[in-house]
A and B are shown apart, each in its own frame.
Chain A
Amino acid sequence: MVGFCGLSTLLISGLLLLVLGYITLHGLPGANLNFFTRLPAPVGMEGGGLAQAVAGSFILIGLACLIGIPWGIGAGIFLSEVGKDSWWGEGVRFAVDVLSGVPSIITGIFVYSILVVKLQSFSALAGGVALGIIMVPLVARNTEGILQLVPQGLREAALALGLPFWKVILKIILPTAARGIGIGVTLAVAGVAGETAPLFFTSLSNNYWSLGLLEPIASLPMEIFRYATAPFAAWHELAWTGALVLITIVVSGMLLARILLPGYNFRR
């Protein structure tokens, strides 16, 4: 039986290698400078790239972080330090749980109804807002969890020295927890970097180089979907390369957070 359990773990690792392997295999040939600097070429012509999608993804992720990180960390601090064991706290915790379970497609429909319809246009802003909303519960839950692990004695010592409450949290507790929170933030960013469904309803796509916040914008996940479902083999290759770039961004972010951030190592 122990063998079965070990075998299961091997199977899972094997699956990961299988998926990553195929993506590297099919995506690497197309990963040249063209991909990052050129716009899509007309069908049949060589040398096209997905530069606007890479740029678009960065913009969308940036917007999402602007909304998601402060809101999420603030909510996490509330849950762990301020509202603990109170009715408010339970209510907020429930809201965070609900929000984290909402399928991203629903968030997309929601932002569509309030932003896209009102502004009468698909926009990068709407996409960023949708992704930000998806980020908040991820960051909040992780922040709360990490803050709970910080020893209570640290807070008490700081307060005993006469520091104001906000300084205790922001200057002593948060930096101690920085590594754990940072890892959680990168996981959240990884999660939203690959979200496609909400973008269908918010930022849609754009064949041209566009950085305007009120214009539709291309993004790696959307373009991967469009190109993968198209009938042209050349486009399929672009889709694979796009997938490889996406995964590289995600995994390197996760690795970097673990390596670079200093602090207490809470990670089991």
Chain B
Amino acid sequence: MSRDLFRGMTAVLSLGLVLLVFLMAFVIWQQAEASVQKSGWEFIVSRHWDPVHEEFGALPYIYGTVISTMLAVLFAGPVSIGAAIYLAEFAPRRTKALLAFVVDVLAAIPSIVYGLWGSFVLAPFLRNYIEPWLGKNLGFLPFFQGSPFGLDMLAAGIMLAIMSIPVITAVAREVLETVPDGQREPLIAMGATPWEVVRIGVIPYARNGIVGAFTLGLGKAIGETMAVTMVIGNEPKISASLFSPAHSMTSVIVNEFAQATSVLHLSSLIHIGLLLFGLTLLINVLARLLIYQMSWRVKKRNENT
């Protein structure tokens, strides 16, 4: 086989991939078009989701997705960064491989298994122990008011946090490992403690990459379906309280797709899917830019020295 034939074959496969992405976007847009025509911009601001009267407003679901994923990054962020720093800077070599494997396994556990665990173990635990305690001691905050439900926004946030941890940890760790030793060595020479080396030399340099890692975790959390739908309570409520059940963009699609009563209903659900697609696309592009920007910076620095 000639060189060009081989390269041509791989090129065809790869361009097919590009075509696939365009096809996907096109098909989703086409299926959602009916709903876009009918509901327009009101789709995003209206709370009224009424399949019977064919009026669709997706605000409760957008709210659910936004709040639960923000909670997820809030909970997962510190833990993931801490673990990433430990793995990249402080861990002895043998435990590194073991811990990297642990993170890999956490990432490989299917979403549905997390959902199962969440609905049978986490939610009752929250309902019986954590949420009453929070309500009693911090109940003056609007987040902790109302009766503990278990299957609520808090559970969804924690669930998504657990699922984002592997992604954020893995990416942040790679980002930290890209930081050149030239950042660490001068500080060590001046007598800085190990933590000071990291705090002063490594983290500011890797800052954009770390934000990129957070963003990737956010992107993953936004697209999560099964784990969310099993713990969020599946009620289209908008409430400040974390104890209130809620609904998310992904869980409403999964719940109502099989029973969609009309073409418009189906199209509206796919419209939500379109919004989801756009949102994750934006977030992933942003994350990549942040992470690549860091590696360009390292490359440039290596070229100059």
Residues of A within 8 A of B (CB): 1-2, 4-9, 11-13, 15-16, 19-20, 22-23, 26, 70-71, 74-75, 77-79, 81-83, 88, 91-92, 95-107, 109-110, 113-114, 133, 136, 140, 164-166, 169, 187, 190-191, 193-197, 200-201, 221, 224-225, 228-229, 236, 239-240, 243, 246-247, 250-251, 254, 267-268
Contacts and interface: CB of A to CB of B under 8 A. Distances in A.
A109 B10 contact: no
Nearest to B177: A268
B110 interface: yes
9 contacts: A19-B117, A82-B10, A98-B281, A99-B17, A102-B24, A103-B224, A197-B254, A221-B112, A268-B177
Contacts of B31: 109, 113
Interface stretch (B40-48, B56-64, B90-98, B138-146): B90-98
Interface string B71-99: 00000001111110111011100001101
A268 B226 contact: no
Given A15-B162, A16-B106, A267-B97, 11 more contacts: A9-B87, A23-B116, A97-B285, A98-B285, A103-B225, A194-B110, A195-B111, A200-B258, A221-B226, A228-B120, A243-B117
Nearest to A19: B117
B116 A228 contact: yes
Contacts of B222: 103
A200 B252 CA distance: 13
Given A7-B82, A15-B162, A254-B108, A88 B11 contact: yes
Interface in B118-132: 119-121
B6 interface: yes
Given A105-B250, A109-B28, A190 B108 contact: yes
Interface residues of B, number: 86
Contacts of B108: 187, 190-191, 194, 250-251, 254
Main secondary structure on chain B at its contact with chain A? helix
Contacts of A88: 11, 14-15
A250 B85 CA distance: 28
Contacts of A164: 1-3
B223 interface: yes
A79 B104 contact: no
B179 to A, nearest CB: 15
Contacts of B133: none
Contacts of A5: 82-83, 85-86, 89-90
Contacts of B1: 164, 166
Contact of B116 (A9, A102, A103, A240): A240
